[in-house]
Amino acid sequence: MLGRRLVPRPLLGLLCRRQCAQPVAARSCPAQRQAWPAAASAPRVQHRLTRQQCTDAAAAAAAAEPSAHRSPYYRAEAGPQAPQPLDMDEPYPAEGEDGFYTASFYSFFEIPEAALPELRAAIQDEWSQDLAIVGRIYICEQGINAQLSVRGKKIRALRAWLEASGAFAGRIPRFNWAIEHRRAFKALHVRVRPLVAVGESLGLPTLGREPEYLAPAEWEQELRDAQARDPDTLLVDMRNTYEFRIGRFQGAVCPDADTFRDEMAMVRELCAGRAKTEPIYMYCTGGIRCSVAGALLKSEGYANVRTLQGGIIAYGRHVRERAQGAPSMFRGKNFTFDKRLGEEVTGEVLAKCDQCGGPCDTFTNCANQSCNLLFIQCPACALKHHATCGNAVCVERAHMSHEERIKNRMGPVWNYHMRIRPEKVFGKDGIARPEALSGADACSASAVGEAAQQASDASA
């Protein structure tokens, strides 16, 4: 039986070193043979295509498909697909100072449930070892959602891996390059879980009811015209409220929700009083939440759902690449779910420090990992409170060694909802006080409250 390696390590190195002048070879792993039985007849080599053949095959496939059914993210076709050209992600942007690029991509297509464990193991093993990738990858029966950082010399090898895989060949769109580049993750984590936490059953037929995707320049022009004609044009920010704090499009409304599931219920309420043919504009970080939300709305009869292709990430690149001085409809920062916690689109600061109230748009997490409160903190408050939320226990634990923290283990302070709601836990003095919360709001916040009181008593 073959191992689970999808692309042999020597091949990856060869592709990288010779700029893909050599043919792309692939062999199927047990998961792939189970997922795509038709490909199992060739025990070791599934296909062998030169770079030019890859390009020709992709062009032929695009020409054969009616434009009305083209989609950058949805692939309804079952079975192995013709690989795409290995240079499709070029031109590459300028790499970060540490040599890393940050990018994301997602795609909706069928992956048999039985193939997921083997596929997850292959990605975890080969992407981390062969390609030195770090990031967060979700796979499920409906496709893949990936955010990652990779060194420049490994980008083409990553595309080669994808196009040589029976699971992903021909199905992964161009990488959505970040606005700012550096290593954004500590390690690689690959999980089998829903691509977006919708809270309801969501199959490929529903996801196939896609919204209309607008490229950044097209989005900008159409949105300007729509808002000029009708100031009440519905523009929905499909992100969480804390993301909205530091950056947003002019005229956008962001439902006061902590999860995508809750937000969808509120979006349905926003749309309820409108005609089913009235345009609904929506945007998010990289596009996947709008793809899902737009598909749900279209499946419920809303015929004119329009989204920003590539999300704020793509729009931010558009703003930076065009002539200087051109106005941006997005103001502030784009929040990111990685170590960066944000990337600048414009220099405007829309938010305030949660501790002192001064202008600031820099998110951080409390240095006490058991607290991990997500809040905005200016440099002065970070120095004053030792990069914590200011609670005495958190300050104390921030100064502990790793061994001391292990010896004095502490459970999580907040549940998810409170961890992202600093306005509910900070006092006027800029100190987070879990003991002030009601029982419904706190997870084990009383532990910090009691410990803080003990520390106060000891110092008295």
181 domain residue, yes or no: yes
Q: Are residues 174 and 45 in the same domain?
A: yes
96 domain residue, yes or no: yes
Q: Are residues 95 and 164 in the same domain?
A: yes
284: annotated active-site residue: yes
Both tokens of residue 388?
A: 């914590």
Q: Are residues 264 and 160 in the same domain?
A: no
List the beta bridge partners of residue 138: 145, 191
What ranges make up the beta strands (E) of 118-228?
Answer: 134-140, 143-151, 176-177, 188-192, 212-214
Say if residue 231 is preceded by a cis peptide, omega within 30 of 0: no
Q: What is the CATH number of the domain that holds 260?
A: 3.40.250.10
Number of independent structural domains in the chain = 3
330 domain residue, yes or no: no
Task: Provide the sign of the torsion angle of the four alpha carbons 67, 72, 75, 80, taken in this order.
Answer: positive
User: For residue 452, which of 372, 403, 390 has the smallest C-alpha distance?
Assistant: 390
Q: Are residues 61 and 26 in the same domain?
A: yes
Final residue of a structural domain among 192, 223, 240: 192
What CA–CA distances, in Å, run from 260 to 191, 206, 211, 320, 418? 19, 17, 17, 29, 16
Q: Are residues 306 and 448 in the same domain?
A: no
Final residue of a structural domain among 256, 290, 316: 316
Domain that holds residue 68: 9-192
The rounded Cα 156 to chain-centroid distance in angstroms is: 21
Q: Are residues 15 and 71 in the same domain?
A: yes
122 domain residue, yes or no: yes
Residues whose CB is less than 8 angstroms from the CB of residue 199 and which lie 6 or more positions away in sequence, other chains included: 259, 260, 261, 264
Per-residue confidence (pLDDT) for residue 10, from 0 to 100: 37
Question: Choosing from 29, 54, 271, 284, which is the catalytic residue?
Answer: 284
Both tokens of residue 183?
A: 């290593």
Per-residue confidence (pLDDT) for residue 325, from 0 to 100: 65
Rounded average pLDDT per 10-residue block, the chain, 460 residues: 40 36 36 36 33 44 39 86 93 88 96 96 97 97 96 95 94 95 94 89 91 96 96 96 96 93 94 94 97 96 97 94 83 91 93 97 95 96 96 93 90 91 93 63 45 37
Q: Are residues 172 and 52 in the same domain?
A: yes
321 domain residue, yes or no: no
Cβ(182)–Cβ(97) below 8 Å? yes
Place of tokens 């070892």: 129
Per-residue confidence (pLDDT) for residue 197, from 0 to 100: 87
Cβ(72)–Cβ(173) below 8 Å? yes
Alpha helix positions (H), 256-330? 260-272, 288-299, 311-321
334 domain residue, yes or no: no
Question: For residue 108, is it left (φ>0), alpha (ψ between -120 and 50) or beta?
Answer: beta
Q: In what order do the strands lie in the sheet with 305-308?
A: 212-214, 305-308, 280-283, 234-237
Per-residue confidence (pLDDT) for residue 452, from 0 to 100: 41
Cβ(287)–Cβ(176) below 8 Å? yes
List the beta bridge partners of residue 414: 442
Q: Are residues 385 and 241 in the same domain?
A: no
Provide DSSP, 371-426: T--EEE--HHHHHHTTTS-S-HHHHHHHTS-HHHHHHT----SB-HHHHT-GGGTB
What is the C-alpha separation between 244 and 251, in angstroms, rounded? 12
Q: Are residues 59 and 97 in the same domain?
A: yes
Q: What is the CATH number of the domain that holds 151?
A: 3.30.70.100
Q: Are residues 140 and 233 in the same domain?
A: no
Per-residue confidence (pLDDT) for residue 449, from 0 to 100: 44
Per-residue confidence (pLDDT) for residue 70, from 0 to 100: 58
What is the C-alpha separation between 433 and 393, in angstroms, rounded? 10
Which run of H or of E encompasses 448? helix 445-459
Per-residue confidence (pLDDT) for residue 433, from 0 to 100: 87
433 domain residue, yes or no: yes
Long-range CB contacts for residues 447-453, cutoff 8 Å, separation at least 24: 447/410, 447/411, 447/413, 448/371, 448/391, 448/393, 448/394, 448/410, 448/413, 451/392, 451/393, 452/391, 452/392, 452/393
Q: Are residues 168 and 227 in the same domain?
A: no
Per-residue confidence (pLDDT) for residue 322, from 0 to 100: 83
Final residue of a structural domain among 137, 164, 192: 192
Q: What pTM value is reported for the model?
A: 0.81
72 domain residue, yes or no: yes
b/e sequence 439-459, b meaning 16+ C-beta within 10 Å:
eebbbebebbbebbeeeeeee
Q: Are residues 159 and 240 in the same domain?
A: no
